Amino acid sequence: MRVVVGMSGGVDSSVAALLLKRQGYDVVGVFMKNWEEKDDTDVCTAESDWRDVQQVCDLIGIPYYAVNFTKEYMDRVFSLFLKEYRAGRTPNPDVLCNREIKFKAFLEYALQLEAEKIATGHFVRTDGEGALLRGADPNKDQSYFLYMLHAAQLRKSLFPVGGMTKAEVRALAEKEGLPVSGKKDSTGICFIGERNFRKFLSQYLPACPGDMVTPDGEVIGRHIGLMYYTLGQRRGLGIGGRGDGRRFFVVDKDLRNNRLIVVQGEDDERLYTAGCVCSEVTFVEDALPINTEVALTAKFRYRQPDQRCRVVYDGETLRFAFEERQRAVTPGQSAVLYDGERCLGGGIIDELIR
């Protein structure tokens, strides 16, 4: 069986390719280039990553190719990323990148190479029937970022490191002499990487400074542009503590008047919500029953412990009622549903229920 592995130049996808080769698959490595610009140090990270892919594939003994998806990334992911920021929300490009690039454009390309399946270095598992299961390493589980996938895509996908811990992956890479065994994990925006975020975003969206105010309208400072702030944020506000010295936190954005709303004290009730409503709902397998309250768990940001909630799906939106009030639930981010080890799907947070 031919399997095309999406190789990033990192240790996870490299070990994925190694494991599949050992298991007797006809393995092909493919490096996806999705961003043209250099990083803040004037280094083209794609070129460095491509060299790492070449070295790993030569060592493993598999053919490799590079494919350019920069247009697809710009049209399907980055344009929506900018649209969300214009609307004052905080998007998560990783979930779109997985849906539109890694498991759509890349999958279509792999099928052209006569592959039967694709593989990635994601820390998730699947049962072969289209279920999306948490990765075995709870500290690295990436199911949160893959909730927009559908069973048909998952049936065409393999996740060789999903049953391993990160430590085991690095140990195997070191044992086998892979040149990326000690390479640090990538962070930052999907495919764009680490960079000064404010500087980067200002290249695409004009900043519009305005007043920073308390909920009763008292002006206590200036913000540099609403797009640079997210709910619950306390660092980088530039106003310090006042009165009793407690820090300020962002609780809302007034787009109409270009005002950033802040409160003092990390326990202020306005930082917490009792529920939320999500749109752009997708399910991995079967949808939830219509207009029926279901008890599940959910994550509202990556690495968050599961939160108990009751969920109602009306055919278009998901309405969450949290068992415990949640802090800094953020419009534009994803609410992802779980039933035990199974990731069911989720949606984009639209509205907060106080």
Query: How would DSSP label each residue in 100-152?
Result: IIIIIIHHHHHHHTT-SEEE---SEE--SSS-EEE-SSTTT--GGGGTT--HH
More confident residue, 252 or 36: 252
pLDDT score at 187: 56
Residues belonging to the active site? 97, 190
CATH 3.60.110.10 fits 2-175, yes or no: no
The pTM assigned to this predicted structure is 0.92
Q: What is the pLDDT of residues 267-285, one digit of tens each?
A: 899 999 999 999 999 999 9
CB 343 within 8 A of CB 313: no
Can you tell me the distance from the alpha carbon of 205 to that of 203, in angstroms, rounded to the nearest whole number? Answer: 6
At the second CATH level, the architecture of 271-353 is Beta Barrel (2.40)
CB 292 within 8 A of CB 318: no
Sign of CA pseudo-dihedral 224, 230, 236, 242: positive
pLDDT score at 88: 87
pLDDT score at 337: 98
Question: Which one, of 133, 109, 112, lies nearest residue 122 by Cα?
Answer: 133
Q: What is the pLDDT of residues 3-51, one digit of tens each?
A: 999 999 999 999 999 999 999 999 999 999 887 665 544 445 788 899 9
The Cβ of residue 235 has, within 10 Å, a number of other Cβ atoms equal to 7
Distance spanning both ends of the chain, measured CA to CA: 52
Helix (H) or strand (E) holding 282: strand 272-283
User: Average of pLDDT values for 112-133?
Assistant: 96
pLDDT score at 156: 97
pLDDT score at 353: 96
Indicate the class that CATH gives domain 207-267.
mainly beta
Domain ranges of the chain: 2-175, 207-267, 271-353
Q: What is the pLDDT of residues 178-191, one digit of tens each?
A: 999 998 887 555 54
